[in-house]
Structure 1
Amino acid sequence: MEAPEKCCDNQFKVLSSGDYILPPPLQASIDKIVEKEGYISHKTINRSITTSGGNFMGELYEVDIKGTTADGDKETNIFIKNKIDDMQLPTIDVAECYSLENFFYGHLSKLYNDIQNKYNIPIEDRYNMVKSYNAMNPNAIILENLAKKGFTTVHRMEVAPLKFAQLSVQQLARFHGLSWVLEKQQPEYFEKKIRPLKLTLQFNDDYQKFLDNMSTYTDKCVDVENRLRLNNFKPGVMEILKKNFYENSGSKCCLCHGDYRANNILVKKDGDNITEVIPVDYQLLYYGCPVLDFIYFIFPCTDQEFRRKHLDDLKDLYYASLRKFLKYFNMDVESVYPRREFETEYKKRLDFGLVFGLMVTPLLFTNDDDVPDFAKDDLQKLSVTPDPKMDERIRGLVDDFQRWGIL
């Protein structure tokens, strides 16, 4: 009997708790939620938390509201991601990120739920979303705290368990499918709200400095011959990024998640069995090619052995899941997004997988005590201390892309 797959490691760590005082705007939001939830009397427990490198664009809090309502005792568990005052990053518009995620949870998620309810989509075939508490706070994302229901995340250094990858790919297909359903059913809304969404990341000089900096860590993982290949590849990296995100002429597009990686997918287990996943973190939403979300997910959370065994099957699963989901809405997947086009786009954009893998792996393998502060550190001098396990992951990545003819 095979050993159960290693899966989840609860990365949330309490920084301070008990009588922790929330920033006044957040406290005002909590007060609104208390009123809306019908509490007659209540007490709150606030905690400041960290995700050990899983988040860098805000302060995180947990709030437990316990008390009585007209219907009896009640408890409401809340998770908050709060924008740091005056936070600015050289490669991304932080305020726009919060605006995008509030748009998703405040408007789009409700629209998606209504669509799925209207067509009686079975629970097991739905796109899963966390319940949002819309407390009219533009600088905070306020959600149900699913950690209280046993959800956690796959540790960023671990290879994704197969079941986790399968469920995540199915969810991704449904997310893309809902975009095409919305485009068909509410074309005016789609044209006004979805199609104009542009990538928030800025591929500027600071981004180039970040790429160059990360390459100093990945270069050390490979032999001299492959280091030469990487050096020949590097001058075109920025153009690869711009091509994949900005040049969509002739490509079938939809609303893309933009940050669909393992750390942004909550997972629940029953014993050793993974039973459910729920995507989160919609701060990088944009209108673009759906294949990029798939590639973005695969390469940071898998190793060479996993890809050799399962990559083709996961591509098949994505397309089969999209076919099944669209069928509920009387839409033919071959008319919406032909398989031949999916495969063509995958091959055309596969080079992004190498760029992204090289770019983020040093960060994913950084020890918890050495996670960089993107708001304070110079991207050119950003220092990390990668775990030795990173070497094998990078070697496998380089070997695969050499075999696929990209290096």
Structure 2
Amino acid sequence: MESPEKCCDTQFKVLSSGDYILPPPLQASIDKIVEKEGYISHKTFNRSVSTSGGNFLAELYEVDIKGSTADGDKETHIFIKNKMEDIQLSIFDIAECYSMETFFYGHLSKLYDDIQNKANIPIEERYNMVKSYDATNPNAIILENLAKKGFTTVHRMEVAPLRFAQLSVQQLARFHGLSWVLEKQHPEYFEKKIRPLKTTVQFNDNYQKFIDNMSTYTDKCVDVEKRVRLNNFKSGVLEIFKKNYFENAGSRCCLCHGDYRADNILVKKDGDNITEVIPVDYQLLYYGCPVLDFIFFIFPCTDQEFRRKHLDDLKDLYYKSLRKFLKYFNMDVESVYPRREFETEYKKRRDFGLAFGLLATPVLFTSDDDVPDIAKDDLGDISVTPDPKMDERIRGLVDDFLKWGIL
């Protein structure tokens, strides 16, 4: 069993040399950045990179600009997530995903910065966001390259380090808190731009095919008796997803991240100590129940031992962090999102944790060299070869939900 303190760093793999020629639209965007950053003379170094299976829907590039400005020498380090052409996935609208992330980095992040600045929130108490460039568009997300500042990710197969989980939960609480602050301070904007947002995931027959496909891997991890219960649960998984994403009557809702998992959270370390995390990847934003983001984060990146030791504490931390953040805006958390309601929603929606854990774990535990190419094969048809460590993770997941009376 992996120690919950272990952090396995994932570095980008360079696929090309520093003289890589960017696609013309991206080069035009870089030229605009060069001009806006005030370069008098400069050189650029471009690289095509891979995240070792951590990204499925984009071509990734790093661009380093080095040169001189009127104020002296300067360097600008850029990370680009470029939309792959000709991808047609039956359970995702790729164009809508990129439009959603463009909306976040091009508009909402700037509004969130303004809200936090006006409230004079200390840097260490803010919701962290990567700097984005104005050249960001629905085809390319153009950001500061934080790898140059030492940020990396926790490997998707590893149990989340406790400190990483704590900082990530604090950031999630602030993200949800900002949504409620936005609703209070800019009600017309909220009603027009946020409340109508629906998940871009299509829970259709192909999604059911994906569920059935992944169950062929997870079923093998448990004994026959538990497998019968698991198959009974599996028959209703699609409806569990639909219920949790679309049936929110009576639930307090806000803007949700939608893909809040460990490899969508950048992490920085000082020696062995994790000091900072920054969430990224806003392609699956939607308006819904905030507890789903918490559940989405916890179950794929923790094991049974971690949850036994730390789950209740992380729930407490989420709520305490939300309370503290809302105080900066003179908002009472018990009026915005009562703790009783948070606990009720968590218990009511906890089956989502098992559903998503069963669906995601075989893909998360696929080796870097065997990551499926969903640009060619839809999710319902992919074949994976999970690492043997997956078996224990699945058994722990199943045992927890048996104990909680959900299986």
Give the TM-score normalised by structure 1. Answer: 0.98
- Determine the C-alpha separation between the residues in 1 that align with 2:348 and 2:158: 28
Letter in 2 for 1:380: G
What residue number does 2:219 align with? 219
- Determine the C-alpha separation between the residues in 2 that align with 1:122 and 1:366: 40
What residue number does 1:365 align with? 365
Q: How many Å apart are 1:88 and its aligned residue?
A: 1.6
- Determine the C-alpha separation between the residues in 1 that align with 2:150 and 2:4: 19
- Determine the C-alpha separation between the residues in 2 that align with 1:215 and 1:4: 26
- Determine the C-alpha separation between the residues in 1 that align with 2:269 and 2:192: 39
- Determine the C-alpha separation between the residues in 2 that align with 1:135 and 1:379: 31
What residue number does 1:94 align with? 94
- Are the aligned partners of 1:8 and 1:152 in contact in 2 as well (CA < 8 Å)? no
What residue number does 1:56 align with? 56
1:101-130 CA distance string (max 9 Å, x none): 010000000000001000100111100000
Letter in 1 for 2:114: D
Secondary structure of the corresponding residue to residue 319 of structure 1: helix
- Are the aligned partners of 2:89 and 2:378 in contact in 1 as well (CA < 8 Å)? no
Q: Aligned runs of 1:15-94 on 2, under 5 Å?
A: 15-94=15-94
Q: How many Å apart are 1:10 and its aligned residue?
A: 2.4
Secondary structure of the corresponding residue to residue 117 of structure 2: helix
Q: How many Å apart are 1:12 and its aligned residue?
A: 1.1
What residue number does 1:201 align with? 201
- Are the aligned partners of 1:244 and 1:352 in contact in 2 as well (CA < 8 Å)? yes
Secondary structure of the corresponding residue to residue 64 of structure 1: strand
Letter in 1 for 2:295: I
What residue number does 1:300 align with? 300
- Are the aligned partners of 1:11 and 1:155 in contact in 2 as well (CA < 8 Å)? no
Q: How many Å apart are 1:11 and its aligned residue?
A: 3.3
- Determine the C-alpha separation between the residues in 2 that align with 1:116 and 1:180: 13
- Determine the C-alpha separation between the residues in 1 that align with 2:136 and 2:150: 28
Q: Does 1:265 align with 2:258?
A: no
- Are the aligned partners of 1:9 and 1:152 in contact in 2 as well (CA < 8 Å)? yes
Q: How many Å apart are 1:214 and its aligned residue?
A: 0.3
- Are the aligned partners of 1:102 and 1:138 in contact in 2 as well (CA < 8 Å)? yes
- Are the aligned partners of 1:257 and 1:286 in contact in 2 as well (CA < 8 Å)? yes
- Are the aligned partners of 2:42 and 2:66 in contact in 1 as well (CA < 8 Å)? yes
Letter in 2 for 1:389: K
Q: How many Å apart are 1:287 and its aligned residue?
A: 0.2
- Determine the C-alpha separation between the residues in 2 that align with 1:248 and 1:104: 23
- Are the aligned partners of 1:4 and 1:272 in contact in 2 as well (CA < 8 Å)? no
- Determine the C-alpha separation between the residues in 2 that align with 1:4 and 1:314: 14
1:9-54 CA distance string (max 9 Å, x none): 1231101122100000000000000000000000000000011111
Letter in 2 for 1:320: K
Q: How many Å apart are 1:134 and its aligned residue?
A: 1.4
- Are the aligned partners of 2:136 and 2:142 in contact in 1 as well (CA < 8 Å)? no
Q: How many Å apart are 1:373 and its aligned residue?
A: 1.0
- Determine the C-alpha separation between the residues in 2 that align with 1:184 and 1:162: 33
Unaligned runs of 5+ in 2: none
- Determine the C-alpha separation between the residues in 2 that align with 1:378 and 1:121: 44
Give the TM-score normalised by structure 2. Answer: 0.98
Letter in 2 for 1:31: D
Secondary structure of the corresponding residue to residue 153 of structure 2: coil
Percent identity between the two aligned chains: 87
Letter in 2 for 1:385: T
Secondary structure of the corresponding residue to residue 49 of structure 2: strand
- Are the aligned partners of 1:130 and 1:280 in contact in 2 as well (CA < 8 Å)? yes
- Are the aligned partners of 1:29 and 1:137 in contact in 2 as well (CA < 8 Å)? no
- Determine the C-alpha separation between the residues in 1 that align with 2:157 and 2:88: 27
Total equivalences in the alignment: 405
Q: How many Å apart are 1:4 and its aligned residue?
A: 9.5
- Determine the C-alpha separation between the residues in 2 that align with 1:345 and 1:81: 35
CA 1:274/1:84 → structure 2, altered by over 3 Å: closer, same or farther?
A: same
1:170-222 CA distance string (max 9 Å, x none): 00000000000000000000000000000000001111111100000000111
Unaligned runs of 5+ in 1: none
- Are the aligned partners of 1:39 and 1:67 in contact in 2 as well (CA < 8 Å)? yes
Secondary structure of the corresponding residue to residue 236 of structure 2: helix
- Determine the C-alpha separation between the residues in 2 that align with 1:344 and 1:241: 18
Q: Does 1:374 align with 2:374?
A: yes
What residue number does 2:133 align with? 133
- Determine the C-alpha separation between the residues in 2 that align with 1:136 and 1:13: 23
- Determine the C-alpha separation between the residues in 2 that align with 1:233 and 1:138: 38
1:376-395 CA distance string (max 9 Å, x none): 11433311010000000000
Letter in 2 for 1:25: P
- Determine the C-alpha separation between the residues in 2 that align with 1:78 and 1:212: 40
CA 1:221/1:136 → structure 2, altered by over 3 Å: closer, same or farther?
A: closer
Secondary structure of the corresponding residue to residue 301 of structure 2: coil
- Determine the C-alpha separation between the residues in 1 that align with 2:379 and 2:268: 35
- Determine the C-alpha separation between the residues in 2 that align with 1:379 and 1:130: 29
What residue number does 1:288 align with? 288
Q: Does 1:386 align with 2:386?
A: yes
CA 1:393/1:44 → structure 2, altered by over 3 Å: closer, same or farther?
A: same
What residue number does 1:173 align with? 173
- Determine the C-alpha separation between the residues in 1 that align with 2:21 and 2:157: 33
RMSD over equivalenced CA pairs, Å: 1.0
Letter in 1 for 2:95: A
Q: Aligned runs of 1:150-169 on 2, under 5 Å?
A: 150-169=150-169
CA 1:111/1:378 → structure 2, altered by over 3 Å: closer, same or farther?
A: closer
Letter in 2 for 1:98: Y
Moved over 2 A (4+): 378-381
